[in-house]
Structure 1
Amino acid sequence: MTSAVLARPEAVREPGHDTVTGKWSARYSVAVTSDEPVFAGHYPDFPIFPGVCVLECVRTAAEASVPPAADGVRLASVESTRFLAAVHPGDVLDIELVWEQRGADWRCTAKVATGRGPAASVRCRYTGGAAA
């Protein structure tokens, strides 16, 4: 899948089992730079990283952290998204991901923050994969 977002998530905490919750989790960082193509016409005097681009960063990070038991899953739906604050050039997105199996499907929940605080929460459903 081709992405309109240049920035790529970098692992801050490699995917693995959380020793407290027992769930598969990971943490990624994404630097949002002023050279992102979406800034060219998106509020030129006050650039804001569009919410769909935040969602794309979450999708990219999620698909880089798929649990081994969910290998081969594909995005089936975005169950919910809540944008809490604007993201601007120079911000760094901190993406905290948690994966849970839900029947035959998988849910990936993400909390996204910048240095100013919470920026978004996202919940996606993935389907298919080795177990399907």
Structure 2
Amino acid sequence: MPAAGPLGGAVEVLPATDGLRTAARFRVEDTETVLPGHYPGFPIFPGVCLVECTHQGALATLPAEAKGAALAAVESTRFTGPVFPGDELEIAMEWKRTPAGDWQCRAKLATGRGPAASVRLRYALAEVAA
């Protein structure tokens, strides 16, 4: 059974330019269940949903060397513009290996109006049982 999450729709993975630069897209339908309670009368897609869109896009585009990695930390978020019902959210992700051996996903999210957020997530490989 899949885990519950705040998104009603699915994150669409887009063709990657290379293994370390990936992209995804999410359309914010006016039927998203989080919208009615997030500023009633003036719905805005919540920041936690932007992080979840990034996480889902990241899981779907993990570099081959990172397959099986799990979210270890939300390292940073910065929300720079509102996301409204009807917006198409573009998620551009860049992957890099950290000195500790984890994988970092740096994402820029934007709508047709411009930047919406930047999100940095860290993924760790599972410990190998000895």
2:63 paired with 1:61: no
Structure 2's unaligned 5+ residue stretches are none
What is the identity, as a one-letter code, of the residue corresponding to 2:105? C
8 Å CA contact retained: 1:72, 1:130: no
Matched residue SS, 1:12: strand
Tell me the amino acid that sits aligned with residue 51 of structure 1.
G
Shift of 1:43: 1.4
Q: Are the counterparts in 2 of residues 81 and 123 from structure 1 also a CA contact under 8 Å?
A: yes
Alignment-mate amino acid for residue 125 of structure 1? R
Percent identity over paired residues: 45
CA–CA separation in structure 2 for the residues paired with 1:111 and 1:47: 22
DSSP 3-state at the match of 1:123:
strand
Partner of 2:80: 84
Hey, what's the Cα distance between the residues in 1 that align with 2:17 and 2:126?
A: 18
Shift of 1:40: 2.1
1:108 equivalenced with 2:129 (yes/no) = no
- TM-score, normalised with respect to structure 1: 0.88
Count of residues in Structure 1 that have an aligned counterpart in Structure 2: 126
Q: CA offset at residue 129 of structure 1?
A: 4.4
TM-score by length of 2: 0.90
Question: What letter matches 2:62 in structure 1?
Answer: V
